Every structure is written in C-alpha cells, then in structure tokens.
Amino acid sequence: MAQIGIHGMLAIAIRKWLPEKVWLILGLVLGSIIPDLDNLAVAFATINKQPTSGLHRTATHSLMAVVLIFIVFYIIGKLARQPRWVNLGWGLGLGVLLHILLDLLVWFNGVAIFWPLPTWVNLWAKVTPAAWWMKLMDPAELLFLALFFMLLDFSARKRNTDGNYIKTLRIWTVIEAILFVVFTVLAFGTIKGFATIFGVVYLLSIILALGVTIRMRKTIEAS
C-alpha cells in the first residue's frame, strides 16, 4: 500500500479536474484514505491472536466497495432529497478507486480488487525490494502524513480558509515529523515490540488524517 499521505495529496492534486459540487472533493480525499482503516481489523485480530490473512487490501480495496458506496449514498441522497449526499458518495467511491489504483502501481503486495473473489492482482510480483527499503516504508507513513498536512496548510493560506485551525494543523505536522524521525531510528534498531508500537501510532495517524480532512473541508473544497 502507498502511504496515506500520498493518497491524500494525490486526491487534492486532481481536484481541479473535477466539477465544483458540495462535498464531492471532500469525499474524494476521505475516500482516498479510508480503505486503510481495514488495518483496524488486522489490529483486532492480532490482539486476539487470530489469523490476519485476508483482512488487509481486500474488502475495502475492491471494486465491490466502490459500487456499494455509490449505491448507498445515492439512496441516502434521494431519500433525504439532499444532492450533497450523492456528491459525497461519488467522491468517496472515486477516492477508494484512486486508492486502489495507486496501491497497484506503487506497492509490492497484491490487492484483492475483485473481492469477494479470491483473486489478487500484484503488478510487482516479480520484484523483491531491498530489506532497508521495506523497513523505511513504515516510518515513511508519518513523513508523508506530515507532508499532507503541509499541503493543507499551504492551500489554506493561499485560499484564506480555515485560518483559525492553521496553528493546530502545524502542531500536528511537527508531531508527525518528529514521530517519523523517532520510528525511523527504531525501525533500523532491534527494539522489541516495534511493530505493535508503530501499529498503534499508525492507526491513530489514520484517524487523525480523517479528522483533519473533515476539519479542513473548506480548504479542500475551495477552487
């Protein structure tokens, strides 16, 4: 999987090619991040000493998820007579699809894009990345999340939006950057329990990214 910060930044980068509809771009950015929440299921299974196979990059990374999101939010929008819910559904679905495509293009593990069919697509199946590179990939999650926050900061200042949140956003940016340095050192050490400690920080960072995205929705949707 690509880092969540990369997913978020890519979603913001392509917003200029999408129509200006309420909640559409917000949905796009949220949808580009939420598939990796399946790591919560991995964490739960790990804590309970259950198998984790098939929990990550399956249901939330599938075309089935995209279709279901479109349908559910279309129904919600029509029942509520609120087009913004339909727009949100389109954004979420497109964001999930963008997440899937990016994972296929830049990561070394397969994606069960046709879930629930037990078929995995891996464009990098014949590539074996260096061990040091794979160790760096986990801490890099925190680095790219900091960069994602920096992009939101830049966009907010450029568009004069969400000014009362900039200070808080910068605090989160610094925290994520510091955590990147700390976990990079730990990743190349022999710290017992590194995976567990990082896993907790990583999951909290995903939730933080979603919260910041919603809080910065005016900036994200500004043209």
- The answer to whether residue 56 scores a pLDDT higher than 80 is yes
Token couple for 96: 């999930």
Please tell me which of 89-93, 124-128, 132-136, 196-200 the model is most confident about, judged by mean pLDDT.
Answer: 89-93
- pLDDT (tens digit, 9 = 90+) per residue, 77-95? 999 999 999 999 999 999 9
The model's pLDDT over 158-216, given as tens digits with 9 standing for 90+, comes to 999 999 999 999 999 999 999 999 999 988 876 777 788 898 999 999 999 999 999 99
User: Buried (b) or exposed (e) across 142-173, using 16+ Cβ within 10 A?
Assistant: bbbbbbbbbbbbebbeeeebbeebbeebeebb
Beta bridge partners of 111: 121
Mean pLDDT, the chain, integer: 92
Could you give the CA distance from residue 23 to residue 85 in angstroms, rounded to a whole number? Answer: 8
Higher pLDDT: 27 or 3? It is: 27
Q: CB neighbours of 133 closer than 8 A, spacing ≥ 6?
A: none
Taking CA atoms, 205 is separated from 43, 120, 135, 146, 151, in Å, by 14, 27, 18, 10, 16
**Top-confidence residue, 154 or 109:** 154
pLDDT of res. 80 = 94
Q: Is the model more confident about 54 or about 73? A: 73
Residue 143 confidence (pLDDT): 96
Q: Where are the domains of the chain?
A: 4-221
Spatial separation of the C-alpha atoms in residues 198 and 220, rounded to whole Å:
29
Report percent pLDDT > 70 for the chain: 98
The H-or-E segment that residue 159 falls in is helix 131-159
pLDDT at residue 69 tops 80? yes
Reference 23, options 97, 73, 96; nearest CA is: 73
Tokens in use for 57?
């990059």
Which tens digits make up the pLDDT trace of 12-27? 999 889 998 999 999 9
* pLDDT, position 53: 80
Residue 1 pLDDT greater than 70, yes or no? no
The answer on pLDDT for 154 being more than 80 is yes
pLDDT at residue 223, as a whole number: 61
